[in-house]
Amino acid sequence: MTLLSGLIFTIGLGLLLIVVIKSLIFEQVLTGGIGSIILEQAPNDVGTANIVSSVLLAYRGLDTLGELTVLFVAATAVGLVLGQPRPDAPRDPDAGFILRSAADLLFPFMIILGAYIILHGHLTPGGGFQGGAILAAAFFIPILASPSSPLNHKVSSLVEGLAGSAFILIGLLALFDKGYFLAPLLGTGEVGELFSAGSLPLLYLAVGLKVGAELAGLLARLHETEV
């Protein structure tokens, strides 16, 4: 019975997809519309070499704030459900030699890679979310290797809160200065330089720190509260 209803649901979903795909007009979506306008105007408007980050932070900056909020709510819910670990809770023993040495070796390189991806978000592919995920992984691997030295949750929460408020503060500054929330500030600069695109690198730094601290705290909390 369950199998049959699942089959019927799948067939219905397939038919719906066929109808939706048949009614799409691919040529119009690809050639016209807002995409070509943004491709043309973004380097002059915002000054980013990477068009995607100009859309993410300048044209649709509010959506990025929404994404950050979703992530924040998810991390808060995980913290609420899991709660604090008991102080006398048994901890896992340290991991084997390979994981411990690999954690020591990898940590600086992963930090550098994450920082590079965040700081070059307006020039090359990548940005706050991707770099933040790498930073979180960099802080999580040492926890896996030696569970006896846990992540400092106070520091990670502090970084997360400060980065989130910095994002909103930059947006509010733009609101007072230019009249639009999260409008790009500080001019555009030379396209392709590290210090260009105005306030976008600052926004990406805030996004990266927030995502990194949040994900690292979430992973550490999942790992350390005992079963």
Partner 1 sequence: MLFWIALISVVVMLSAAVAVLLLENYLAATAALSVVSLALSVLFIVLQAPDVALTEAAVGAGVSSVILAITLRRVGLWKIEGEK
Identity of the residue, 71 or 174, whose beta carbon is nearer to partner 1 in the bound complex: 71
CB 220 within 8 A of CB 140: yes
CB 218 within 8 A of CB 139: no
Binding mask 165-204 for partner 1 (x = CB under 8 A): ----------------------------------------
Distance, in Å, from the CA atom of 182 to the CA atom of 62, rounded to the nearest integer, reads: 7
Distance, in Å, from the CA atom of 198 to the CA atom of 177, rounded to the nearest integer, reads: 14
Q: Minimum Å distance from CB 82 to partner 1? A: 9
Query: Does position 217 bind partner 1 by CB under 8 A?
Result: no
Residue from 61, 126, 142, 217 in contact with partner 1 (CB under 8 A): 126
Identity of the residue, 49 or 174, whose beta carbon is nearer to partner 1 in the bound complex: 49
Backbone angles phi, psi at 138, to 5 degrees: -60, -40
Centre a 10 Å sphere on the Cβ of residue 165 and count the other Cβ atoms it contains.
13
What's the one-letter identity of residue 58?
Answer: A
Sites for partner 1 among residues 50-79 (CB under 8 A) = 50, 52-53
Binding-site ranges for partner 1 (CB under 8 A): 50, 52-53, 117, 125-127, 129-130, 133-134, 136-137, 140, 215, 218-219, 222-223, 225, 227
